[in-house]
Chains A and B, each alone.
Chain A
Amino acid sequence: MTSRTYKGKKFVYSVPMAKNYVGMLDIQLEHKHIHAMRLIDGSYATHFLPYLHYDSVESLTESVIDNVPFFRTSTKTK
């Protein structure tokens, strides 16, 4: 597992080793799962932000922190 902090919020995740892995990802943002998936084209997606696919777990999680009300810690995220 890898951990990282963005805007004061810690998230822990593991990137699948298999190059062609498709399915759920284990990403915990302050102990809450963010229900992210890796798709067959190698992009990452979450239903919380349904109009965009991401290139990495990190960019997806940072976007969740910035934009999803439930995961925002404060009214100032930017």
Chain B
Amino acid sequence: MINLRKNVKSLSPNEKEHFIEAVKALKANTKGKRVADNKYDDYVLWHAQTMEIAAGSDANKNMRNRAHRGPVFLPWHREFLRRFELDLQQEVSDVTLPWWDWTADANLRSQDPQIPAWTLSPIWKEDFMGGNGDPDSDYIVGAGPFKDWITQELDDAGNPSIKDRLRRDFGNFVRTLPSQIDLYNIFTYEFFDTPYWDVFSKGFSNALEGWLNRPQLHNRVHLWVGGSMLLNTSPNDPVFFLNHCNVDRIWSLWQDLRYDHGYPDDGTIIDRNAKKIDYYNLSDKIFPWQDEPGSKSIENVLEHRNLNYCYVYEK
């Protein structure tokens, strides 16, 4: 049966409850852990540590790494999310990832200047993600299902030696979420990405990640939420997955409109030194799961319907 990913605003109370239950169960699951203390934190470390590795012979990790700042950004996160979703389903079988349409929240207006507009959004209610961090408690999230959430952080050497609390600081780094106009603008990009495939290249992927006219779209959402979402360990905040589910949905829309998966047809991604970039080419397995039986290549994840999920749109 194909998995249906819904807009957060369309989730029933039961669906929200099941999602929270599954996320918490994954956090409590220490038996199937791989690289961290529990199965949820595996995703935190996979994300942070993949960012630590530069991709290509011509770049440092802030120009292009194995999951970000290059054309691998969208395929890598598609595989990351699908793995997370399948793990959630091991805990609660009927769960799928919901998507957060942040452009709708950018339009919210509060009638009362004392009440922030974000309080009107269903995502931040106490029955789902909870709200903002408490400015009197260093922005620790003090309400909702994740008020006691312990995060896994890295030290200066990149070792997971630090535990912290979930923090949010809405609208401090950037005042507004991406708007619908910001989103429409990226659909004008005809090419998925262009040489030299890094944080400065012009194309749909880099625009959606948010580096063109920065900070935009995906990056801007991280910055607007703030706190734990600012860091390379940003999957610590469960809202990470709802942001990226929307990013993946936007990619799928662009693909459908173009009748094209987007990735360069010849399948090779070449850096400034005329060398292939490892883990970036169509036939390359996706890092860091490349040695697992049945691991997926970039080509395997370009058509999301082949991964057995699709997006549901309600009027």
- Interface locus among B60-68, B100-108, B113-121, B291-299: B60-68
In the complex, the answer to whether A47 meets B61 with C-beta atoms within 8 Å is yes
B222 within 8 A of A: yes
**B234 surroundings in chain A (CB, below 8 A):** 51
Instruction: Number of A interface residues at 8 Å Cβ cutoff, please give it.
Output: 28
A18 within 8 A of B: no
A52 within 8 A of B: yes
Give the docked Cα–Cα distance between A47 and B233 (Å).
Answer: 10
**A47 surroundings in chain B (CB, below 8 A):** 51-52, 61-62, 232
In the complex, the answer to whether A39 meets B62 with C-beta atoms within 8 Å is yes
B2 within 8 A of A: no
Give the docked Cα–Cα distance between A22 and B139 (Å).
Answer: 35
Give the docked Cα–Cα distance between A77 and B139 (Å).
Answer: 10
In the complex, the answer to whether A39 meets B199 with C-beta atoms within 8 Å is yes
**B153 surroundings in chain A (CB, below 8 A):** 69-70
A37 within 8 A of B: yes
In the complex, the answer to whether A70 meets B173 with C-beta atoms within 8 Å is no
Q: Which of B145-188 contact A (CB under 8 A)?
A: 151, 153-156, 162, 164, 173
- Closest residue of chain A to B199, judged by CB? A39
When A39-B62, A69-B162, A77-B138 are in contact, do A51 and B52 touch as well, CB less than 8 Å? no
Per DSSP, chain B at the interface is loop
Give the docked Cα–Cα distance between A35 and B230 (Å).
Answer: 16
Contact of A50 among B68, B135, B137, B227 (CB under 8 A): B68
In the complex, the answer to whether B199 meets A70 with C-beta atoms within 8 Å is no
When A47-B62, A70-B153, A70-B162 are in contact, do A52 and B223 touch as well, CB less than 8 Å? yes
**B164 surroundings in chain A (CB, below 8 A):** 69
Per DSSP, chain A at the interface is loop
A57 within 8 A of B: no
Instruction: Number of B interface residues at 8 Å Cβ cutoff, please give it.
Output: 32
**A33 surroundings in chain B (CB, below 8 A):** 156
A61 within 8 A of B: no
- Closest residue of chain B to A76, judged by CB? B138
- Closest residue of chain B to A36, judged by CB? B62
Most chain B CB inside 10 Å of its own CB: which residue of A39, A45, A48, A78? A48
Give the docked Cα–Cα distance between A23 and B234 (Å).
Answer: 25
Contact of B200 among A41, A51, A75, A77 (CB under 8 A): A41
Give the docked Cα–Cα distance between A33 and B153 (Å).
Answer: 17
Q: Which of A17-56 contact B (CB under 8 A)?
A: 23-24, 32-35, 37, 39-41, 45-53
When A52-B223, A70-B153 are in contact, do A78 and B162 touch as well, CB less than 8 Å? no
Q: List 29 A-B contacts (CB under 8 A).
A: A24-B60, A34-B156, A37-B62, A39-B62, A39-B63, A40-B63, A45-B62, A46-B62, A47-B61, A47-B62, A49-B231, A50-B51, A50-B68, A50-B231, A51-B219, A52-B214, A52-B215, A52-B223, A67-B230, A67-B231, A68-B231, A69-B151, A69-B153, A69-B162, A70-B154, A70-B155, A70-B162, A71-B156, A75-B138
* Chain A contacts to B: CB under 8 angstroms: 23-24, 32-35, 37, 39-41, 45-53, 67-71, 75-78
The 5 closest A-B pairs by CB, nearest first: A45-B62, A51-B222, A51-B219, A69-B153, A69-B164
